[in-house]
């Protein structure tokens, strides 16, 4: 019987190829899947024997040279002892088929390489002025950091001692129903000796939770809802993996006067009746102080005047948007007799008919 043909692999197949082939065939012919099938049970026995030989590099080399396995060799790393194929699958101690193979191969699948740390997400609240100015802002957070006591390994060196889990044998046995498995001891990695113990500072995790403060660079003109990334300041990675990042959601308070649309700022500017009629120059607030706004004669309510380059800076290239001033003509609340008389004269000179003519001309232009 050729073990390579039995597993369906080439003689140059790697150990992983052999293991995959064995898992596939073992699941197909396992007695739990084929209850009462003697042929499947015999095939399962042959598959297990083939894997015992080809899954061990030393025994595989002897098999390739001699064509048979020497009977005086040590037993397999994973063996089947005293298996009763007539046992019912409903026995109390019988494990499920999935649990059985999870236990046999779980150790290999659980081993992983370096793992990247998790990303962290936080919120940074800024005033409108802070958002427009930009700069660096400190943010306090909690993060998983590498344990200094064990340098992230999760264990500390101790004087060598016999492993209590396997009593120095290096192998442990476990029973699942009528099937007995022998495998390397997980606590001492099959050495039978313990030279390390779990780090007390981190409980063997290799990481500790601690408070930290990071500096968040905020570009000038950042908008509400923007998302900033601070690289490599998230949770520490495992097994030498890189740390995660910190993602910061920016919240910008509303300004009592300015309303932002992209990089433009909108401002409502109240002007008196005589200023709107005769024209005027009024001082209005801007981001860096005040600016002089020219109101043309005959300005109407709702008319917009644009000041180039006096808006918000763009967080992408720093270019500033515009300031859009929307005119609101306001009426005086209290009038003395002199003011009332002047308004009456203004109404007589600019009567209703002239107002109607102006309105009709406006409709014709529109």
Residues 236 and 358 in one domain: no
> Within a domain: residue 222?
yes
Residues 217 and 330 in one domain: no
Angle, nearest 10°, between helix axes 15-29 and 38-54? Answer: 170
Residues 26 and 40 in one domain: yes
> Within a domain: residue 55?
yes
Residues 239 and 118 in one domain: yes
Residues 263 and 249 in one domain: no
Residues 228 and 308 in one domain: no
Measured in whole angstroms, how far is the alpha carbon of residue 355 from the centre of its chain?
A: 65
> Within a domain: residue 125?
yes
Residues 236 and 293 in one domain: no
**b/e burial code for range 67-106 (CB count within 10 A of at least 16 → b):** eebeeeeeebebbbeebebebeeeeeebbeeeebeeebbe
Residues 31 and 118 in one domain: no
Beta strands in 273-333 (DSSP E): 280-286, 289-295, 304-307, 323-330
Q: Give the pLDDT confidence score for residue 240 in this predicted structure.
A: 82
| Residue segments in the chain with a per-residue pLDDT below the cut of 50 | 70-96, 98-100, 102-111
Q: Give the pLDDT confidence score for residue 68 in this predicted structure.
A: 54
Residue 329: C-alpha distances to residues 270, 301, 323 (Å) = 6, 5, 19
Domain C-terminal end among 80, 98, 132: 80
Residues 328 and 294 in one domain: yes
Angle, nearest 10°, between helix axes 97-110 and 15-29? Answer: 170
Judge contact between 233 and 184, C-beta under 8 A. Answer: no
How far is residue 229's CA from residue 346's CA, in Å, rounded to a whole number?
Answer: 63
> Within a domain: residue 175?
no
CATH number at residue 293: 2.60.260.20
Q: Which domain holds residue 317?
A: 259-365
The pair of structure tokens assigned to 361 is: 């001309």
Judge contact between 31 and 90, C-beta under 8 A. Answer: no
Q: Give the pLDDT confidence score for residue 132 in this predicted structure.
A: 96
> Within a domain: residue 40?
yes
Residues 149 and 247 in one domain: yes
CATH number at residue 11: 1.10.287.110
Judge contact between 276 and 296, C-beta under 8 A. Answer: no
Give the position of tokens 């180039």: 308
Residue 361: C-alpha distances to residues 278, 296, 358 (Å) = 20, 19, 5
Q: Give the pLDDT confidence score for residue 136 in this predicted structure.
A: 96
Residues 231 and 268 in one domain: no
Q: Give the pLDDT confidence score for residue 254 in this predicted structure.
A: 95
Number of domains in the chain: 3
* Nearest in space to 236 (alpha carbons), one of 147, 111, 349, 332: 147
- Report pLDDT digits (tens) over 21-73: 888 888 888 877 777 777 778 888 888 888 988 888 888 888 877 665 544 44
Angle, nearest 10°, between helix axes 57-66 and 38-54? Answer: 100
Residues 347 and 270 in one domain: yes
> Within a domain: residue 310?
yes
Three-state SS string over 246-289 comes to: EEEEEEECCCCCCEEECCEEEEEEEEEHHHHHHCEEEEEEECCE
Q: Give the pLDDT confidence score for residue 63 in this predicted structure.
A: 81
> Within a domain: residue 103?
no
> Within a domain: residue 343?
yes
What's this model's pTM, rounded to 2 decimal places?
0.57
């Amino acid at each position: 019987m050729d073990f390579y043909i039995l597993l369906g692999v080439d003689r140059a197949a790697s150990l992983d190829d052999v293991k995959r082939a064995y898992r596939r065939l073992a699941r197909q012919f396992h007695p739990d899947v084929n209850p009462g099938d003697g042929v499947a049970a015999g095939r399962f026995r042959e598959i297990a024997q083939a894997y015992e030989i080809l899954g061990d590099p030393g025994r595989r080399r002897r098999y390739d040279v001699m064509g048979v396995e020497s009977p005086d060799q040590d037993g397999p790393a994973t063996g089947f002892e005293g298996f009763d194929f007539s046992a019912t699958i409903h026995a109390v101690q019988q494990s499920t088929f999935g649990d059985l193979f999870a236990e046999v191969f779980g150790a290999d699948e659980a081993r992983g390489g370096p793992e990247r740390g998790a990303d962290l997400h936080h919120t940074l609240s800024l005033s409108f002025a802070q958002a427009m100015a930009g700069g660096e802002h400190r943010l306090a957070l909690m993060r998983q950091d590498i344990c200094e006591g064990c340098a992230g390994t999760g264990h500390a060196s101790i004087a060598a001692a016999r492993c209590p889990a396997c009593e120095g044998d290096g192998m442990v046995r476990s029973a699942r129903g009528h099937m007995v498995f022998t495998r390397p001891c997980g606590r001492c990695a099959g050495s039978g000796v313990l030279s390390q113990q779990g780090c007390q500072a981190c409980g063997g995790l290799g990481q500790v939770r601690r408070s930290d403060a990071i500096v968040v660079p905020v570009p000038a003109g950042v908008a509400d809802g923007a998302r900033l990334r601070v690289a490599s300041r998230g949770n520490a990675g495992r097994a030498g993996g890189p740390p995660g990042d910190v993602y910061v959601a920016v919240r910008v308070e509303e300004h009592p006067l300015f309303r932002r649309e992209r990089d433009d700022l909108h401002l409502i500017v109240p002007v008196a009746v005589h200023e709107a009629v005769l024209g005027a120059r009024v001082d209005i607030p801007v981001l860096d102080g005040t600016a002089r706004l020219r109101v043309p004669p005959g300005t109407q309510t709702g008319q917009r005047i644009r000041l180039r380059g006096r808006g918000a800076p763009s967080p992408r290239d720093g270019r500033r948007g515009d300031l859009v001033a929307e005119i609101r003509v306001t009426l005086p609340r209290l009038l003395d007799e002199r003011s009332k008389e002047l308004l009456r004269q203004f109404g007589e000179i600019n009567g209703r008919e002239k107002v109607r003519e102006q309105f009709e001309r406006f409709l014709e232009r529109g």
